[in-house]
Structures are given as C-alpha cells and as structure tokens.
Amino acid sequence: MTKQVDARGLSCPQPVILARKAIGEGSYPIEVWVDTVTSRENVRRMAEKAGCRVAVEAVEGEFKLTLSR
C-alpha cells in the first residue's frame, strides 16, 4: 500500500520533516505531495541522500514525488 504525505501549503522545512518521518517508517512506495519548486527540490535532495529513488511528476501546478528503494 502506498503511503501518502500531503505537504501542500506547508513551508520548508516542514515537507522535508514529514517526508523524512515517512522514510523512517520504512513502508514504500511513498508519495509526497508539495506545491512549490523549493519544497520539491528540498524533498528530492533529502530522499536521494537517504538512498531513495525519486520520480517527480507535475500534476496541475503541484508536484508528486514518488519515493522507492
């Protein structure tokens, strides 16, 4: 089952903190939804440093990052 993290409307570092917590739970895949380019890039960098593969998809002005191992 896909874990979903809705970080839309939150300012940094909150999206990164929520995504890091989901990674720590170890259930993949994880979908992280954000609504700014800055949040997208910060979550992507953190997830890659944590050893995750990251797929980014733009959806109607928002971004869905799918994290997997």
pTM for the structure as a whole: 0.94
pLDDT tens string 5-52:
999 999 989 999 999 999 999 999 999 999 999 999 999 999 999 999
- Order of strands across the sheet with 30-34? 3-6, 30-34, 62-68, 53-59
Domain count of the fold of the chain: 1
Q: Which amino acid appears at position 52 of this protein?
A: C
Contact 25, 62 (CB under 8 A): no
Distance CA 16, CA 14 (A): 5
Task: Enter the DSSP assignment of 21.
Answer: H
50: domain CATH number is 3.30.110.40
In whole angstroms, how far apart are CA 31 and each of 58, 61?
13, 16
- The parent domain of residue 59 ranges over 3-68
